[in-house]
Structure 1
Amino acid sequence: MKYLIVGLGNIGPAYELTRHNIGFLTLDRLADKFEAEWKSDRLAFKSEIKYKGRSIHLIKPTTYMNLSGKAVNYWMKELKIPKENLLVVVDEVALPFSKLRMRAKGSSAGHNGLKNIEDLTGGQNYPRLRMGIGNDFPKGKQVEYVLGRFSEKEFEELPIMMDKAIEMILAFCRIGISQTMTQFND
């Protein structure tokens, strides 16, 4: 059984600890737990972990957020991974900070990374794990907010949120999306 877990984010030090990069940060933490190394590869940084007899391929696209679909499409084809074994880990302003929600499919809800994945993989029918970053920003300041760094309080709580996300990712690979949603979504 092979899986492709995609953490969305932007490359470069300017974006490193921003809310928009929570997908990257979570996959970094997952790779660290399994002592897996990242390698620069085609359109992404790539790592692989073994878990309960499964090969779990992790990628962090190097295409920048708005072109994430290029990397996702390439690696799905290269690794011959069906859409139901793809999981995209993404920031979500519509959820309060630290709230996690897994979905089997859904709209991009204005998220350019998800929109590009939809465009290049043939629709909205792919699993995603939405990680709540909150929406504590004035009208018209969403871009600054998502590209901004976590507050001190959020940064302290981030490891707990990422560890729960990792549990959900591993459950997705072990028991499938339906049971994972039942077990973890509130």
Structure 2
Amino acid sequence: MKKLCTILLALTLLTIVGCGDKSSEGTTTEPSSTSKETTKQTEKVEEKKVLKLGETGRMKDTLGEYDVTVHSFEILEEYDGTKPYFEVFIVADVTIENIGDTSLDSWSITRTRLENVERGTGTDNEGTNFPEEILPGEKVSGKIYFDNYPEGSYELIFGFALSTVSNELTWTFDVSEASNK
């Protein structure tokens, strides 16, 4: 019995010494994935550009490179014979110029979001009237419409929450700036 206790004591001591001090002295650690994600989010926020109606911003994403100008917007109770789910349609008049070397899929690049700042709500666009493809060097104008509320101020965002873009463009405007008010 005495030998068994001695063996158990020896094994316990070996286990303690073997596991020993877990200090990080002399070791290096990789940044955590949370740290890397925070850095990426910070970089994206730093690249967010805020514009006013009539100003042009440049988008760079996996689809290509293009300039976007939001000229004006209207508030409509109906658009193309459709009634809104919320109160009105906010219809933005936009020009896109393809300054890259490849054709752009307009459906993909016009996936935008309209935030109603006062309400703290946002809606993705309901549709556009852009051509399906925008060729290199081509400049096209069209409308992007959103189902929203006719009050306060708005943020129209290109590149919202997309990992495929290198930047985010935001146009800010107030309901009083509507071209039909």
| Alignment TM-score, normalising by the size of structure 2 | 0.29
Q: Say which structure is richer in strand.
A: 2
Higher Cα radius of gyration = 2
Q: Say which structure is richer in helix.
A: 1
| Alignment TM-score, normalising by the size of structure 1 | 0.28
